[in-house]
Amino acid sequence: MSKHVLGILCSGRGSNMQSILAAIDAGQINAQVGVVLTDKPEAKALAYAQSVGIRSVCVNRKECASQQEFEEKLVAELKEAGVTLVILAGFMRILSPYFVGEYPHKILNIHPSLLPSFGGAHAHRDVLAYGTKVSGCTIHFVDEHMDHGPIILQDTVPVMDDDTEETLAARVLQKEHILYPRAIQLYVDGKLELLDDRHVRIKQ
């Protein structure tokens, strides 16, 4: 059994979470999932994790009096589950320096654009409005700033003339489902070397 325990945070559908669970089942990631956390009770990710017997908890942001209380509850769940690596997989909440400080260089995020371009909640819409010819996805370490920390992996897709947000999102998502498990595998295998606050070297 790997020493690494993942805590996966989701807000919605959870397709990236499912790709990570599939990669663990297939033996491609040497880790276990300690807990799946959502900020909304209706998140499909929550129901799915429950259905496959993974500990899953909703920390309902709307029932917390403050962001601090919300994050303290998340951290308590992660600690309780013995989490060593936090995976943000479609988690649509900004986390404060308090949360990041609890897991320094131990939080990964996926973003559906080629950062530093098109950060924020509407990446595909912004890509189409700007008219870039390529887009893609980015896996990065989380720091105190949104969609900002050191980049681990990126991959690209073409943007087609007739793309809608939905068709572009679907093309990018296929790449996401390959890239996130690969980045987690590199992390748990100890192959990611953080050189400074921007640069990640992948050891061979």
Name which of 46 and 74 has its Cβ closer to ligand GRF: 46
- The reply to whether 110 sits near ligand GRF by the rule CB under 6 A is yes
- The reply to whether 136 sits near ligand GRF by the rule CB under 6 A is no
Min dist CB 45 to ligand GRF, Å, is 6
Which tokens in the block code for residue 4? 């690494």
Min dist CB 101 to ligand GRF, Å, is 22
Four-point Cα dihedral 33, 110, 47, 103, nearest 10: 50
What are the DSSP calls for 15-71, one per residue?
A: HHHHHHHHHHHTTSS--EEEEEEESSTT-HHHHHHHHTT--EEE--GGGSSSHHHHH
Name which of 169 and 194 has its Cβ closer to ligand GRF: 169
The yes-or-no answer on residue 199 being catalytic is: no
**Is there a contact between 33 and 6 (Cβ–Cβ < 8 Å)?**
yes
Min dist CB 14 to ligand GRF, Å, is 5
- The reply to whether 157 sits near ligand GRF by the rule CB under 6 A is no
**Is there a contact between 24 and 180 (Cβ–Cβ < 8 Å)?**
no
Catalytically annotated residue among 4, 111, 140, 148: 111
Which residues are marked as active site? 111
